Each structure stands twice: as structure tokens, then as C-alpha cells.
Amino acid sequence: MISIEEIQNAWGWGFKNKIQEVVKMNTFGNILVRSENEIYRILPEDCSIEYVCTVDELDSCFANEEFVDSWEMKNWEIPITEILGDLPKDRVIAFKIPRVLGGQDEITNIYYANPHDYIGGMGQVASQIHDLPDGTNIELKVD
């Protein structure tokens, strides 16, 4: 599992309060984190952060079939593993080019990534583009 410090370093810019807990991570490197009394979802493939619910509402979210389907992304995972093989335990399913930068939802844009590198790198990208209007020309800087 990726550490709170790694997530805070890569994605902390997007939170008004410090990230206090890594709640869960799915096979695509999406991470549920707690900041104060709120749960957020980090979506590296979209270079975005979404508010999910309060801490007290999290169990209700996982009782909701629509939320679970979105979280588990099973409609994606099965075809990917059929083509790329079983997902190694120390990897996440990742997009080579993030969808927000024009990456396609195609198997040619998918690979198995080290979660530390992927989540960290996408956090750096997201921090540089989150306030830009669509269509803006960009030059990314990744450490």
C-alpha cells in the first residue's frame, strides 16, 4: 500500500486539510483517503480528486451497487487481465497517457505500473493542470 506521506506529497495540493488516512486502494490505483471527517477519491487516470462522503457515510457508499461498480471497475479489469495477464500484487492497472490529456480508453493505453511511481507522477501532472481550461497547451515537468 502506498503511504500517507507519498499521497500527501503528490496530491496534498488538492486538499484544504492534511490527508490523515489511506482508507482503500483499488486495482487501478484509485485511492480513498480521509481528510478530517471527509472521504475523497483520488483518480490518477483522470488527474482528479472527488469528494465521496463523510466518514460516517462510507459504509452506505459501499452498500450502494452503483458506487461499488464504479469503485471496483470490474468491467475494465476483466478484459485487461485477459490480454495483459494476471495483475501482479505489487502493480496497479494504469493509463500510459491520462484520459484528461487525451489518452484513450483502449488496451494500447494500459499497462501495469508501480503504484508509487504512477500515483506520484499523476499527482505531479494533476497539480500542474488542475486549474487550466480545456484545450490549453501545456509543458509538463515531472521529477
From first to last of its 143 residues, what are the pLDDT tens digits of the chain?
A: 799 999 999 999 999 999 999 999 999 999 999 999 999 999 999 999 999 999 999 999 999 999 999 999 877 767 888 899 999 999 999 999 998 888 998 899 999 999 999 999 999 999 999 988 888 888 877 76
Q: Does the residue 14 lie in any domain?
A: yes
The domain tally of the chain equals 1
Domain residue limits at 15: 4-129
Q: Does the residue 70 lie in any domain?
A: yes
Q: Does the residue 44 lie in any domain?
A: yes
Q: Does the residue 139 lie in any domain?
A: no
Q: Does the residue 42 lie in any domain?
A: yes
Roughly what angle, to the nearest 10 degrees, separates helices 74-84 and 65-72?
A: 30
Q: Does the residue 134 lie in any domain?
A: no
CA atoms within 13 A on the CB side of 49: 26
CA atoms within 13 A on the CB side of 88: 8
* Cell numbers at 135, concatenated: 484545450
Q: Does the residue 141 lie in any domain?
A: no
Q: Does the residue 143 lie in any domain?
A: no
3-state secondary structure of 35: strand
